[in-house]
Amino acid sequence: MIKVTDLTKKIGDVNALNGLSFSAQNGQITGLLGPNGAGKTTCLRTVFGLLSADSGHTEIDGIDVAKNPMAAKQNLGLFPDPCGLYERLTPREYITFFAQLSGLSSTKAKAATQDVIAKLSMEDIADRRCQGFSQGQRMKTALAQAVVHNPSNVILDEPTRGLDVMSTRILRELLKLLKAQGHCVLFSSHVMQEVAALCDHVVIMVKGKVIAEGSVEQLCEKAGKTTLEEAFIALIGSDEGIAA
């Protein structure tokens, strides 16, 4: 479970987070929806303890990230934007490396890596160096890295960017599987179809603040629209960011 309470964060002169509060429950897929520059990435980085909030706090499974970052990070898997691959390592080496960093022993890490490679059907690229990978191959590798150690919370920053149809379907299946296993899945996106198809709970944020949250149906109802996209525009009050 991820709980964010009243976060504020100033980067330069911009209030990137401005009293942000929401929570993402176990066994649910929570979508963080917002136009470009809404503070989605800043929010996720704060959850990871990479940025420290000016005020407010973040809890992962009840552990305060600021107070006990090591224990909090133990229960997290991160799919970052950009991917942060090591170009000279193969996906197998890359995934095993991060599995070990998350606390798995060498043998367990290797077995877990083999599992996740099979699950994401990436055997064909598993032993090639990441250099020259297509965007989709990069995303798969990063995704495998995020879930290899079977963390109770998985955070994904724009996970569908650059994926082809097949890979998007694999990603969807994987997220649904994580949900069925009782994991807490939190992802940020600005692709409406993706959010509408996957999320049990949608958090809409603009300028560092939550302006509406609930299930897709609840949001549509609240805005009096039939699709999430129209509801989204109605709720944020402009079409800013939709073009992106």
Partner 1 sequence: MINLLKVLYKKEVLDASRDKRSVMAGLYYAIGTPIAMCLLLSVLLQQLTSPEGLKITLINAEQAPSLVAHLKTNEIDSTDDKNDAQLKPITLKISDDYQKNMREGHPATVTLIADKSNDKLGKHISRIERALASYNSEVASLRLISRGIDPSIMRTIAVQTHDEATPDSKGGMFLGIATLSIILTVFYAAMNLAIDTSAGERERNSLSLLLSHPLSSLQIVLAKSAAIATFSMIGLVLILIVSKITYGLVPWEQLGFSITITPTFMLFCFAVCLPIALMSASLQVFVSFMAKSFKEAQSYVTMVLFIPMALSMVTTYDIATDIIQWVPIAAQQYALIEFIKGNPVPVPQLVLSTLITVVLFAVFSWLSSKMLKSEKVVFGL
The binding site for partner 1 (CB under 8 A) comprises 11-12, 45, 48-52, 69-71, 73-74, 76, 78, 80, 82-89, 93, 97-98, 100-103, 129, 145
Choose between 84 and 182: whose C-beta lies nearer to partner 1.
Answer: 84
Smallest gap from residue 4 Cβ to partner 1 (A): 16
CB of 66 closer than 8 Å to CB of 58: yes
- 14-24, strands of its sheet edge to edge: 14-24, 2-11, 55-60, 63-64
Could you give the count of Cα atoms lying within 13 Å of 141 in the half-sphere of its Cβ?
31
CB of 54 closer than 8 Å to CB of 9: yes
Smallest gap from residue 173 Cβ to partner 1 (A): 24
229 sits in which H/E element: helix 228-236
Smallest gap from residue 93 Cβ to partner 1 (A): 7
Closest by CA to 120, choosing from 137, 93, 140, is: 140
What's the 3-state SS for 99-121? HHHCCCCHHHHHHHHHHHHHHCC
Smallest gap from residue 122 Cβ to partner 1 (A): 18
Choose between 45 and 179: whose C-beta lies nearer to partner 1.
Answer: 45
Choose between 65 and 199: whose C-beta lies nearer to partner 1.
Answer: 65
Strands 201-206 and 28-33: parallel
Choose between 104 and 204: whose C-beta lies nearer to partner 1.
Answer: 104
Choose between 70 and 243: whose C-beta lies nearer to partner 1.
Answer: 70
Smallest gap from residue 89 Cβ to partner 1 (A): 6
